[in-house]
A = this chain, B = another copy of it.
Amino acid sequence: MNRKVEIFDTTLRDGMQGLEINYSLEDKLEIASKLDDLGIDYIEGGFPLSNDKEAEFFRKIRSMNLRHARVASFGSTRKAGGSAESDGHIRALLDAETSTVVVVGKTWTEHVTRVIGTNLEENLRMIDDSISFLKKQGRVVIFDLEHFFDGWKGNAEYARKVLSAGMNAGADVMVLCDTNGGTLPHEVSEIYSTLKSEGYQRLGGHFHNDCGTAVANSLAAVNAGAMHIQGTVNGWGERCGNANLCEIMPNLTLKMDYEANCKPNMPHLTGLSRFVAEKANIIPDKRQAFVGVAAFSHKAGQHADVILKAPHLMEHLDGKLVGNSRQVLLSELAGKSTIIEKMRKYGDFGKNDEVVQVLIDELKSRENFGYEYEAAEGSFDLLMRKALGIYTPLVSLKNYHLESYKTATAQSNTVGRMFLDDSGTEVMGAAVGVGPVETLDGALRNALYPHYPDLKKIKLIDYRVRVLNPESASAAKVRVFITSSDGEHDWGTVGVNENIVEASWEALLDSFEYYLNNLNREPGE
C-alpha cells in the first residue's frame, strides 16, 4: 500500500484550547519552524479574528519563508443572513494572507438550530457561499465539518448534504470532525467506508481523545480512505486532547506503509515532541508511545540479554527510527551517531573515538540527574568543548549572597553581591533587583562589563522553571531553562539544582560562557 496522507497540525490553534497550554508569539513561530522542518504539510496558525496576538502571528510567519509547509488561518462560515464578501470572519481569514484557510461549518442539526440559531437551509448556503468565495480568492480551502459524527448519528441525511455542499463549493478537503470526541474506531471505519462507497472524495479526519481512541480513529479513517489527518504534537488540546501526531505519523509511515512528506524526518520526531513540551512548559508524558522516555525502556534481567542478541524479539520498532533511544541498556549505536552528528561542528569523529564515549558518559550521568539538552544547545556546546579540551571558563565563582525581603507596606526586593575569580584577578559586582534571578544577572554584569563589554549585547529573552520530582514537594529538584539572544542568535542553557537560585545561576553563567566561547571569540562560526 502506498497511498499518500496529508498531515495537518493544529497545535497552534485547537491545541491552544488545552488545559494549561499557552504559547507566546515567539513560541508559536519557533514551533511552526520545527513543524516545517519535520515535513508537516499544513500548519494551522490560529484564529486571526480572536485577538491581536493571533493576527500578529500571521504577519510574522510570512517573513519566515517556511520551506514547504502551508500555513492555514482558521475561521467559521459567514454569519446567517449575510454575505461572505462582507463578513468579518471571512475578511479576517483573507487578511491573514495565508495560502490556506480552514472554514468550520455546522453539521449537527441541533447545533444549527439551537447554537447558531438559524435554519438548516441557510446553514448550507453559509457553507456554499463562504467556501465558493474563498476559492475565488485563490485560497486552498479546508472545510472542517464540526460535530460530523454526532450529526451523522442524529441525521445522516443532513450530514451528507453538508458534505456535498462543501465538495460542490470546491473545498480541497472535507474534514470530518469528532468535536466531542465520543466516536469509536469501529464507527469511524463504518462511516468512512459508507461515504467512500457513495462516492464522497477528498475526506479528512479530526479526532479528539475523549474515549482514549483518537489515534486509532485516525488510523481507521485512513484505512477506510481518508487522505488528510489533523492532530497536535503530543496530543495536547481541549479536554483529553486532540489526536496525537507523534503517534499517528510513525504508525502511518513506519508501521502501515503509507506515504507522507514527514516520513523521511521521523528520526526527528522525539526531538519535536520534547521541544514542544519545553515551550508549553509541560512535563512530557514519559509513557507516550514512540517518543516517550519510557517507550523503549526495559526493566532489567533476562530481557536485557535478549535485547542485545535479538532486539526485534523485545521491541516492536527500532527507537532510532523515531529519534528515541533505548533505556536501561546503553544505546551504543543510537546514542553515538546522534552525538557524532552534533560534534561535527568541531570535526569528524568516529564511533570508536574516546572523546565520543567520554561525552556520552557525561551526558548520561547528567541526564540521570535531571538535565535535558534538547532545548539547551548552549549548555550542550560547553559539554562538547569540555570533552574536547577547548573550553575556556569565563570566570569562577568565589561567592554570591542575595537577600530578598518584604514588609507589609513595601514591595518585595532583592539585593545581591558577588565575588568572582577572573584568571587570578578578583572581580566583584553588586545589584538591586526585584527577584533573585534579576539580581544575579545584574551583579554578574556589574562585575564583568568592564572586562567583557561584548556581554552588553546579551539579553535574557525567556526563563522557565520546572520541578523534576514534584512528589518531593518544595525541596524537589528544579530545572531552569534560559533563552538568551544577542539580537542575531538565540541560545538555550540549562541548570538543575534543588535551589532555584543556584539552578538559575548555573544556566546564567552557561549562557555568558557559551556566548564568549562561540559567538564572540570565534566569529567564523
Contacts and interface: CB of A to CB of B under 8 A. Distances in A.
Contacts of A80: none
Contact of A211 (B240, B316, B402, B476): B316
Interface stretch (A96-104, A356-364, A407-415, A448-456): A407-415
Contact of A247 (B147, B212, B235): B212
Interface stretch (A83-91, A126-134, A163-171, A460-468): A460-468
Contacts of A341: none
B459 A182 contact: no
Contacts of A213: 213, 215-216, 219, 247, 251
Contact of A19 (B297, B310, B438): B297
A505 B76 CA distance: 43
A398 B405 contact: no
A471 interface: yes
A283 B182 contact: no
Interface string A490-502: 0000000111111
A336 interface: no
A344 B186 CA distance: 39
Contact of A467 (B111, B289, B332, B464): B464
Interface stretch (A31-39, A347-355, A379-387, A429-437): A429-437
A288 interface: yes
Nearest to A483: B470
Given A182-B255, A300-B17, A500-B437, A405 B412 contact: no
Contacts of A502: 406, 411-412, 434-435
Contacts of A412: 497, 499, 501-502, 505
Contacts of A185: 185, 216, 219-220
Given A180-B314, A470-B26, A413 B499 contact: yes
Given A20-B375, A400-B405, A463-B470, A184 B251 contact: yes
A235 B501 CA distance: 33
Contact of A210 (B210, B295, B411, B437): B295
Contact of A115 (B209, B306, B442): B306
A382 B441 CA distance: 35
A473 interface: yes
A289 B209 contact: yes
A404 B182 contact: no
A404 B433 CA distance: 14
B473 A287 contact: no
A521 interface: no
Nearest to A300: B17
Interface in A168-198: 180-186
Contacts of A316: 150, 180-183, 210-211
Contacts of A390: none
A462 B467 CA distance: 7
B404 A398 contact: no
B414 A501 contact: yes
A308 interface: no
A19 B343 CA distance: 20
Contacts of A407: 397-399
A296 interface: yes
Given A241-B287, A299-B238, A435 B498 contact: yes
Contacts of A122: none
B219 A310 contact: no
A145 to B, nearest CB: 16
B114 A240 contact: no
Given A110-B313, A474-B437, A19 B286 contact: yes
13 contacts: A20-B286, A24-B470, A180-B316, A184-B255, A210-B317, A240-B287, A398-B408, A399-B405, A404-B404, A404-B501, A435-B478, A435-B497, A438-B473
Interface of A: 17-20, 22, 24, 26, 51, 108, 110-111, 114-115, 147, 150, 180-186, 209-213, 215-217, 219-220, 223, 235-236, 238-241, 244, 247, 251, 255-256, 281-283, 285-290, 292-300, 306, 309-310, 313-317, 329, 332, 372, 374-375, 396-408, 411-414, 421, 433-438, 441-442, 459-467, 470-471, 473-476, 478, 483, 497-502, 505
Given A402-B405, A414-B499, 15 more contacts: A17-B299, A22-B466, A147-B313, A183-B316, A186-B223, A209-B287, A209-B289, A210-B316, A212-B289, A239-B294, A239-B297, A397-B406, A399-B406, A462-B467, A464-B466
